[in-house]
Amino acid sequence: MYIKTACVLVLWVLGAYYYFAYNTYMSAIVFGLISGQIGVNIMHDGNHMAYSNIKWFNTISGASLELLGTSCVIYKRSHDFGHHGCVNHLELDRAFDTTFPLLRFHKGLPRLSYHKWQWIYGPIVYSFVNFGDMFGQYDEISWLSNYPVRRGFISIKALTSRTCVAIAWIFLYFLLPVYIHGYTHMYSVWLLFMMVFGHSYIW
């Protein structure tokens, strides 16, 4: 596990350099793939306290989510409690609440006419999963305050930290490359990065 983590982080640093220095479509693909693996191979296990027998090591590995522009604090509350705590429960599982009406994952949800095509447009929706993680987490805060077992309290400190991470992410991943490479070129590269990142993280 530790060797895998070291390899992923080294590749992430190299991918970040390639992305910021050259800003090519290939750099976007490489950086997107590696960024997704931080979420899959490091952050997820850490936030489930399954990465290591050492508690503080789990905390650090879970905090790697901040590199991806989202919050490990809110993730642990909404994912661990709001998904794994009530898997497939229509009213409580956040996996349904955050994807509907674009995607229908439960037979208890209303079937809309376009859902028969979600096998086609679903991969496109998942291309933008990181947008949802970055900005949808403010909706999570509202939901957490009404969580049935009242485990959803989010402190002002956590909210402030989450906002600062989002601002820093937008500046570093988008605005800084725009300043260096120009908006016309950068926008398409950044969009490709986000799409590859989304699929690498989900699948």
Q: At what angle do helices 118-126 and 183-202 cross, to 10 degrees?
A: 120
Q: At what angle do helices 25-38 and 183-202 cross, to 10 degrees?
A: 30
Residue 153: CB atoms within 10 A of its CB come to 11
Average pLDDT of the chain, as a whole number: 79
Taking the model in full, what pTM does it have?
0.79
Residue 146's pLDDT band (cuts 50, 70, 90): very low
Beta strands in the chain (DSSP E): none
Q: What is the pLDDT of residues 159-177, one digit of tens each?
A: 777 788 888 888 888 888 8
For residue 125, is pLDDT > 60?
yes
Q: What is the pLDDT of residues 79-91, one digit of tens each?
A: 766 667 777 777 7
Q: Are 77 and 144 in contact (CB under 8 A)?
A: yes
Q: Are 51 and 61 in contact (CB under 8 A)?
A: yes
Of all residues in the chain, the percent with pLDDT exceeding 90 is 15
Report how far Cα 166 is from the mean position of its chain's Cα atoms. Answer: 12
